[in-house]
A and B are shown apart, each in its own frame.
Chain A
Amino acid sequence: EAQVTQNPRYLITVTGKKLTVTCSQNMNHEYMSWYRQDPGLGLRQIYYSMNVEVTDKGDVPEGYKVSRKEKRNFPLILESPSPNQTSLYFCASSLSTVNQPQHFGDGTRLSIL
């Protein structure tokens, strides 16, 4: 089954403790992206990647890192999480960078205490 898989689905942690949210897709998609969704602010793009070893900042990249060493994986890294990064995070992928529908994962709810 074609899918985008995020792990974990839920995480409660403390300020400053490094964490990684994994994202994997099995559709051989080139484009992958991370978003956060907050009440009143909607979905905002954090980082995106147009292919292996190519990553670019979205609208809200501060406090996040990503890597794209393999085509299927696009982990989101919070080196020193802070409470303002408490949010619902989505990973998405599409076949190419242009004019292809995005497929979303089920989301990861992060709570930083």
Chain B
Amino acid sequence: KQEVTQIPAALSVPEGENLVLNCSFTDSAIYNLQWFRQDPGKGLTSLLLIQSSQREQTSGRLNASLDKSSGRSTLYIAASQPGDSATYLCAVEGNRDDKIIFGKGTRLHILP
């Protein structure tokens, strides 16, 4: 059964720093991995989707990488800003059953 783990569970860093969030998964039979952002009391917003054949995707200050064989993905945030404070979740879509499994998220706080 697919399991998705995100480390760390929470992170506080000063504004302006570059940071890396980690996501690992146990079953490499995936179509894709997505990174989402969730603000308190809100739904999820898709940030980046990496297909299983891809190694990375970039959007603005965000860069996500995928190493399917080792079951790992990282989300790199450059020059962090207070507005980046949110919970970041990763999710994988299995290619055996189309199920989507989420990690429990990393709660990020950017200190002004």
Residues in A lying within 8 Å of B, measured CB to CB: 4, 33, 35, 40-45, 48, 50, 56, 58-59, 90, 92, 97-107
Contact = CB atoms under 8 A, between A and B. Distances in A.
B99 A48 contact: yes
Given A98-B32, A99-B31, A102-B46, A45 B104 contact: no
B103 to A, nearest CB: 7
B51 A45 contact: no
Contact of A107 (B36, B43, B103, B105): B43
Interface of B: 31-32, 34, 36, 41-46, 49, 51, 89, 91, 93, 97-105
B32 A99 contact: yes
A106 B42 contact: yes
A50 B98 contact: yes
Most chain B beta-carbon contacts within 10 A, residue among A35, A90, A101: A101
Contacts of B49: 99-101
Given A103-B46, A106-B43, A98 B31 contact: yes
Contacts of A33: 100
A58 B101 CA distance: 9
A104 B44 contact: yes
